[in-house]
Amino acid sequence: MGAKVPSGKLRRGIIGSATTAKVGANVLGYLVRKPFLSEDARLDAREKADAKNARLLFSCLSMLRGAALKTAQLLSLELELLPEVVCNELEQSYNQVLPMNRVLARKAASNALGCDPGEVFASFTATAFAAASLGQVHEATSPEGAKLAVKLQYPGIRQTIGDDMGLIRGTLGRLPDVRGIAKVFDEIEARFLEETDYRLEADNMAFFRDNLTVAGVRVPEVWEKGCGQEILCAQRLPGLPLNQWLKTNPGLEARNLVAARLNAVFLQSFYRLGRIHADPNPGNYIIGEDLSLGLVDFGCVKSFTPKFVELYRKLPQAMVNGDRDRYFDLLRSLHFIEEKLDAQTEEAVYETAYDFGRWLGRLYACEEFDFAAAPGCIAKGRELSRAMWKHRRHFSMNPDMVFLDRTRYGLLRIYEKLGCRVRLRNAYEWSGAENDPL
């Protein structure tokens, strides 16, 4: 890698503890001054404290990388559960992931395989063609000549997850706006531990390959001879990652078809299989010359109980229809809000929820929603979602919603980027609607 990543519980702990203390001191300083400030002065002091803490967090997490940085990115840039100034600061970190160098990569591959890569593969390219927070991907060929993608885990990354999550709980927990999402950290830690279990990822890949039946969608076949706990080998799908494919300026019809396939994959996965590919990064979608959609990276997969799926299915129509009693009954059944709210609080929560429901209604109002004709639509929805979050002390934040929300919001952002028309109103969530005939 470029800069050396701090290793060892003690060294990483010192970095995290120092940052936690500084963030806590800044928050305490603001709280001490708050009673003596005017409303405008309070707002100004709060913004300055948030900005100072954001810079501290960025500096700390950029040094730690791994699970610590990945968690902060998820909470801020994908779920937007951190203060806006923190989100803006952490956005810089998304392009700072550097791969292992060739020597370290070959050594890591040898350790993971138990032998030199040359004994398993006909060829193995030691320079990675893709890198992320927890691992990187290399090209290889099998003895039979098949093109393969080899995912290699950064050495020791799994052992840092528990310690890093403890550090990030302590550091982010000092921010006033984050104290209501403690359960979220447990969910994120569980997914990250699964994401570093490459045997489990191979099983996930095989599951979707065997059970997903959307036409025009491809899932790689696992190549068992190149797999282990910290190395995963599978067929390399031909085509371009979605973000690179978009640079080729595909026509509207092509963009619409890709969006329809993405939407159908989510709906079938969630409502029929009870399991979703929960990492909607454009790099995880490979578009073939025939416009087929390839799915890669099955490290982050989230499963749901049939009861949760059935309750969630009823939410969109209840929100759009303004069925207040039904909406609150569903939220309570999903363990998303407190069992009892006083009338004033319930009214305030409902008002913000109703505004969000009206926004959601736009997506379901017509047979196909035209994202090109509605610029800024998704940002508006997120703004309304943030307004609901102002009542966070009354929400219990069901952990099952974390990666579901991440996936749906991520897909909506992709549709907006595609500038496509897509049928969001579907038979699973809307009575009388039909699903795309894929």
Interatomic CA distance for residues 148 and 131, integer angstroms: 16
Cα torsion 161, 166, 171, 175: sign: positive
Q: Scanning the structure block, which residue is given the tokens 């936690």?
A: 20
Which pTM was predicted?
Answer: 0.81
How many angstroms from the chain centroid is the CA of residue 184? 13
Position 160 scores a pLDDT of 79
Position 179 scores a pLDDT of 54
Beta bridge partners of 258: none
Treating both helix axes as pointing N-terminal to C-terminal, what angle do 343-364 and 324-333 enclose, rounded to 10 degrees? 100
One-letter identity of residue 133: S
Interatomic CA distance for residues 106 and 113, integer angstroms: 10
As to burial, measured by CB atoms within 10 angstroms (0-12 exposed, 13-18 middle, 19+ buried), residue 70 is: buried
pLDDT in tens, the chain (438 residues): 444 444 555 455 544 555 555 665 655 565 656 666 677 777 666 667 766 766 666 556 655 556 666 666 666 555 555 566 666 655 555 445 567 889 999 999 999 999 999 999 999 999 999 877 788 999 999 999 999 999 999 888 887 788 777 777 776 665 555 555 667 788 888 888 999 999 999 999 999 999 999 999 999 999 999 999 999 999 999 999 998 999 999 999 999 999 999 999 999 999 999 999 999 988 899 999 999 999 999 999 999 999 999 999 998 888 777 787 888 888 888 887 766 777 887 777 777 777 877 788 888 888 899 999 998 888 888 788 777 766 666 666 788 888 998 899 899 999 999 999 999 989 998 876 566 656
Q: Scanning the structure block, which residue is given the tokens 């609080």?
A: 345
Cβ contacts of residue 166 below 8 Å, gap of 6+? Answer: none
Cβ contacts of residue 171 below 8 Å, gap of 6+? Answer: 16, 19, 20, 23, 57, 60
Q: Scanning the structure block, which residue is given the tokens 């701090």?
A: 6
Position 393 scores a pLDDT of 65
Interatomic CA distance for residues 421 and 412, integer angstroms: 11
* DSSP state, residue 99: P
